[in-house]
Amino acid sequence: MVRTVATPPPPPGEAVLLAPGVLWLRMPLPMRPDHVNLYALEDGDAWTVIDTGIDSGRTRAIWRALLDGPLRGRPVRRVLVTHHHIDHMGLAGWFVGRGAELLTSRTAWLMARMQVLDVQERPTEQALAFWRAAGMPAAMLAARGAERPFNMADTCHPLPPGFTRLAQGGTVTIGTREWAVHMGNGHAPEHVTLWSQDGALVIGGDQLLPSISPNLGVYPTEPLADTVGDWLESCDRLGGLARPGQLVLPGHGLPYAGLPERLAQMAENHRIVLDRMVEALRHGPRTAAGCFDILFRRKVGPAAYGLALAEAVGHINHLAATGRVWPCGKTADGAVLWGGVTAPHSSVIRLSNAANPGITHGRSSRSHPPYRRGNGHPRTAKDLSGLSETGKLGRRAVDSGRDLPGAGQFLTSKNKRS
């Protein structure tokens, strides 16, 4: 059973003590979900901070209140970022500027550093071709082509030219705890998860969320990515480390226990959707965008369209990589049509991709204690072991208009860094 903590989340500027030396913090986000969880881990006479929120005047003001309040004026010695998305990496460079060391995976650092430096005034030709091939309507494509796209630099502080790498199988000591490092994939490449060696705690980022299903989007940066395959592989592998009693500290939602069941649920949710897609495509070819009703079972509005399209391409790419769908033509607008029928040549092993039909696509190889309030005074402990059960199936990713690895169609200018 997946059970979330009964304790309400900390308001901005306040903290909840989840375990000795482990504070739960929250930052608001100008998108869905409307918050990101951060954690501060006691590290000698300083702190190691896990994830940061986006770079905005509001977030920095809340951080200052946290540093002066619940964090008792002690310095942040290290900032450890689970993955490169703006809600997690946004203020990493700001902390480095205040004397912290940045720890993350090599891919997270490379992705973030690249995307922060890569400012575009208009979508690239590659991005337009990707959206067209995936089935974005012509009018929307024309409108987006004339607009300044979201740029990661809008909500992410400049990153330092160097960092400290966390690698798969490594360990990191924070205060009195040693944590094993295991990478997840699918939502973001080389996403860090941390597993306390005493078996009590797991820092899950967006790889291990309690209720919502993170977006497994494919973007023009890597149009052939098999994000769904990467995700399923991660669920299986991390499932080998999961124990029912671990308290998981997720990037969004509430801390929870029941990770083995949650990992199985998340994988099963995607397998069900994949089967539904194959079944529908047997009855007639569709574009990736034409699969929205199968994937999300609701109408996708313009605000969520970009993430929904990325997720649809992710599922098509996985079905193509595993030989379950084939490209079988194009629409008049140039979108690739996919069919779930028997391949015209059963020995086909090089498949065109949903977004880049000209690019060949080989079969995937991957196949108790007190809280602290903002004023630094402890609150009375509530029953942190009193966990409540969450719904059996997670909500689909289209709910979470967020985590835009360089896309970010939903951030308006008022959300930009101030």
Find the binder of Zn ion among 13, 53, 251, 394 (CB under 5 A).
251
Cβ closer to Zn ion: 251 or 258? 251
Q: Which is nearer to Zn ion, 285 or 408 (CB)?
A: 408
DSSP H helices in 51-181 = 57-68, 86-89, 92-97, 106-117, 125-134, 138-145
Question: Is residue 152 a contact partner of residue 406, using CB atoms and an 8 Å limit?
Answer: yes
Q: What mask of x and - would describe binding to Zn ion in positions 198 to 227, judged by CB under 5 A?
A: --------x---------------------
CA distance 16 to 246: 18
**Total number of residues that touch Zn ion (CB under 5 A):** 4
14, 43, 55, 87: residue in contact with Zn ion (rule CB under 5 A)? 87
Q: What x/- string results for residues 351 through 390 when contact with Zn ion is judged by CB under 5 A?
A: ----------------------------------------
Q: How far is the CB of 37 from Zn ion (least distance, A)?
A: 9
Minimum CB separation of residue 324 from Zn ion in Å reads: 29
Instruction: Label residue 332 exposed, middle or buried (CB < 10 Å: 0-12, 13-18, 19+).
Output: exposed
Instruction: Give the pair of three-digit tokens for residue 274.
Output: 């994949």
154 to 193: interface string for Zn ion, x by CB under 5 A: ----------------------------------------
Q: For residue 61, how many other CB atoms are within 10 A of its CB?
A: 12
36 to 65, contacts with Zn ion by CB under 5 A? none
Closer to Zn ion by Cβ: residue 105 or 353: 105
CA angle 362, 189, 98 (to 5 degrees): 155
CB of 85 to Zn ion, least distance (A): 5
- Supply 346's token pair: 């059963």
Whole-number minimum distance, CB 294 to Zn ion, in Å? 25
Place of tokens 């997840």: 184
Nearer to Zn ion, 123 or 251 (CB): 251
Question: Which stretch in 313-321, 379-387, 399-407, 410-418 sits in contact with Zn ion by CB under 5 A?
Answer: 399-407
Closest separation in Å from C-beta 403 to Zn ion = 5
Q: What are phi and psi of 267, to 5 degrees?
A: -65, -40
Q: Which backbone phi and psi does 16 adopt, to 5 degrees?
A: -120, 130
CA atoms of 104 and 80, how far apart (whole Å):
6
Span near Zn ion by CB under 5 A; candidates 87-95, 144-152, 221-229, 298-306: 87-95
Q: How many CA atoms lie within 13 A of 123 on its CB side?
A: 24
For Zn ion, the closer of residues 141 and 216 by Cβ is 216
From 81-89, 172-180, 295-303, 372-380, give the range in contact with Zn ion by CB under 5 A. 81-89
From the list 95-103, 191-199, 391-399, 400-408, the region that binds Zn ion by CB under 5 A is 400-408
> How far are the Cα atoms of 68, 232, 309 from residue 217, in angstroms, in the given order?
38, 14, 8
- The helix/strand/coil state of 351 is strand
**Which distant-in-sequence residues (6+ apart) come within 8 Å of 41 by Cβ?**
21, 22, 23, 47, 48, 49, 50, 174, 175, 177
90 touches Zn ion (CB under 5 A): no
Secondary element (H or E) of residue 265? helix 259-282
- Residue 87 or residue 230: which is nearer to Zn ion going by CB? 87
Residues interacting with Zn ion, by CB under 5 A?
87, 206, 251, 403
